């Protein structure tokens, strides 16, 4: 068994959102990407004929070239025909996988992570991300290896230049007929990522005056001091230019942060609150239920209850949100981090679509962003990330567990506590909510100190 196969056998290949890691190291090295391509190609190839296709998109990381070529080699070795979209948002891959009748879609991106990371997200022919069961089967095939096809059945690869334009044209169809953005000045921050061309093009074509930041990728500056994880730059630009709205995307444009004309930043909870109540008023919110994760603010839950809308919580990750939406027949969900899922239009979180729908709400209501982006008063929430070495487990230390148990007891009457490991990077998320901010700070501080002591001890 090769070292690559041993690594795959001994570690979990797929995380909460596909495969992710540091570029040029397992599992985001070229040999593993080739093996993933071959396994995914074999999994989705239904017969021995060359009628199967896969679409591949990517963000702007330098390592995307390496991963794209390795995946293409693996896929064509199992007879898949590969259509290369170049830099496009993750939701565009989900959309085009379905519309182009592909058997598989792949997005090469580590989303909001730094440029030295990369990832692989897989979509089925329906445009939705793969189930855990499908990912496990592909991981087993990576471990065991797959037989290549005969030489005459090797697949082909070609570039598809119009993928971005197809996606932009689709987004326009989600708006009311004839709606234009004339008279609105919009700051768009594309995080130097996958939407660096699509986002400003879309807004300009709809008539907005566009102020761009984060639209000059160089292979290394994705998410660097910009985008939805660092929206302060866009907030400053909104204030500087007197813009009506700021839209911040992340590296693969599947999440969004909204900035109103006063420079205030609204997270996914506030955006979902607006969409949920307006959709409920229009009779289009299925349930009426909003699906979100355990991370969403307690204030959102209380606000929706006052509006007669139920909140259904899932584990962290937009895959879990989408799974719950599909199971229950619901059409709106997302995450506090800015993944907004509207299954009437898309198969995954789409930051650009969410920003566009927010603009449509501004136009139709005639209200400024500040009146729409602050729907409820959030309960004070504190989140601290504790980094740790891969392979260690400071969270399981008795002292850390005791601090968590004590914290849960102290917050039982006034809030809640959520401790979890990140599924995409070696960090422990320590999150708490309470209307008693002094108590919240003390509880979070004690837990973080205990985890750090276990990590460093």
Selected catalytic residue, list 111, 115, 296, 434:
111
Reported as type and span, the H/E element at residue 404 is helix 398-411
Q: Quote the distance between the C-alpha of residue 228 and its chain's center.
A: 11
CA distance 378 to 93: 34
The dihedral built from the CA positions of residue 15, 18, 22 and 28, taken in this order, carries a sign that is: positive
C-alpha torsion angle, residues 29, 228, 304, 350 (rounded to 10): -60
- Enter the tokens of residue 321: 């949100």
- DSSP symbols for 344-379: TT-SS--HHHHHHHHHHHHHHH---HHHHS--S-PP
Question: Coil, strand or helix: which one is 272?
Answer: helix
Reported as type and span, the H/E element at residue 402 is helix 398-411
CA distance 112 to 225: 11
Query: Is 111 noted as a catalytic residue in this protein?
Result: yes
For the chain, the C-alpha Rg in angstroms (whole number) is 22
**Cβ neighbour number for residue 133 with a 10 Å cutoff:** 8
CA distance 212 to 276: 29
- Enter the tokens of residue 378: 């959030």
CA distance 118 to 223: 12
CA distance 451 to 456: 9
CA atoms within 13 A of residue 286's CA, in its CB half-sphere: 15
- Enter the tokens of residue 383: 């989140």
Q: Give the orientation angle of helix 163-173 with respect to helix 90-99, to 10 degrees.
A: 90
Question: Coil, strand or helix: which one is 244?
Answer: coil
Q: Which residues are catalytic?
A: 111
């Amino acid at each position: 068994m090769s070292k690559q196969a041993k690594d795959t056998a001994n570690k979990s290949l797929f995380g909460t959102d596909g495969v992710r890691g540091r570029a040029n190291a397992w599992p985001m090295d070229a040999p593993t990407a080739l093996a993933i391509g071959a396994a995914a190609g074999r999994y989705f190839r239904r017969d021995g004929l060359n009628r199967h296709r896969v679409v591949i998109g990517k963000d702007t990381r330098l390592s995307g070239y390496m991963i794209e070529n390795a995946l293409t080699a693996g896929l064509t070795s199992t007879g898949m025909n590969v259509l290369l979209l170049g830099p496009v948002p993750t939701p565009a891959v989900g959309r085009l996988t379905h519309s182009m009748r592909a058997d598989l879609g792949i997005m090469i991106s580590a989303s909001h992570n730094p440029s030295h990371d990369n990832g692989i997200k897989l979509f089925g022919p329906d445009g939705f991300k793969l189930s855990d069961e499908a990912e496990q089967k592909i991981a087993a095939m990576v471990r065991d290896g797959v037989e290549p096809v005969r030489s005459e059945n090797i697949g082909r690869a070609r570039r598809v230049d119009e993928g971005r334009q197809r996606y932009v044209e689709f987004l326009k169809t989600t708006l009311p007929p004839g709606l234009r953005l004339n008279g609105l000045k919009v700051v768009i921050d594309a995080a130097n990522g996958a939407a660096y061309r699509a986002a400003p093009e879309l807004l300009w074509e709809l008539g907005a005056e566009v102020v761009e930041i984060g639209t000059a990728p160089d292979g290394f500056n994705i998410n660097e001091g910009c985008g939805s994880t660092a929206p302060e730059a866009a907030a400053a630009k909104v204030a500087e230019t007197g813009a009506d709205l700021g839209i911040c995307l992340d590296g693969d444009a599947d999440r969004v942060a909204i900035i109103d004309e006063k420079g205030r930043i609204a997270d996914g909870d506030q955006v979902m609150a607006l969409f949920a109540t307006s959709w409920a008023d229009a009779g289009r919110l299925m349930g009426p239920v909003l699906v979100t994760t355990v991370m969403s603010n307690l204030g959102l839950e209380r606000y929706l209850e006052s509006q007669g809308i139920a909140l259904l919580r899932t584990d962290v990750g937009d895959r879990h949100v989408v799974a719950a939406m599909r199971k229950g027949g619901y059409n709106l969900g997302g995450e506090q981090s800015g993944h907004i899922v509207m299954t009437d239009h898309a198969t995954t979180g789409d930051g650009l679509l969410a920003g566009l729908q927010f603009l449509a709400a501004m136009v139709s209501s005639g209200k400024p962003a500040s009146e729409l982006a602050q729907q409820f008063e959030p309960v004070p929430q504190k989140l601290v990330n504790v980094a740790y070495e891969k392979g260690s487990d400071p969270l399981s230390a008795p002292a850390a567990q005791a601090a968590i148990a004590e914290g849960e007891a102290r917050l039982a009457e006034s809030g809640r506590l959520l401790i979890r490991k990140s599924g995409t990077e070696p960090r422990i998320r320590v999150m708490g909510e309470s209307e008693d901010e002094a108590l919240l700070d003390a509880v979070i501080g004690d837990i973080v100190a205990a985890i750090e002591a276990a990590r460093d001890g």
